[in-house]
Amino acid sequence: MSNAENHNANHHKINYIEFHSTDIAQTKKFYSTVFGWTFQDWGPDYVSFKGAGIDGGFVKDEPHDGPGKFAPLIVLYSADLAATEIAVRMEGGGIVVPTFEFPGGRRFHFADGAGNVLGVWSE
């Protein structure tokens, strides 16, 4: 499968999940020991993981009102980020985090109008 075919096959599919963590070092130790996940650091406040059945990451966040108060961020892939953003807006979705760059690509977050916030990324 060519790179372009792979991108099109993944277009608008769930591709990544992002969790919050109050302690990145403890998170890495826990998930590597218990589940065998491997990690790559992207600075002091972000770590990505592999080996969970879907790739993902943990972003450093402050403690909230106790355990279970973080909602994971589901991230979809788009072969055409700008077209996906237009489609989100055309269907009444709201952009809650404008497109930003990160190592490896660009991403925005949107609200679907029914209480959910998801991300969309592309190279």
Domains of the chain are: 3-122 (3.10.180.10)
Mean pLDDT of 86-98: 95
**In this predicted model, what pLDDT tens digit does every residue of 35-81 receive, in sequence order?**
999 999 999 999 999 999 999 999 998 877 666 667 899 999 999 99
Block residue for tokens 């990544």: 16
**What backbone torsions phi and psi does residue 111 show, to the nearest 5 degrees?**
-100, 135
Burial 98-119 (b: 16+ CB within 10 A, else e): eeeeeeeeebbbbbeeeeeebb
Mean pLDDT of 23-33: 95
Model pLDDT, residue 114: 79
- Cβ(80)–Cβ(72) under 8 Å? no
Reported pTM: 0.79
Higher pLDDT, 65 or 4: 4
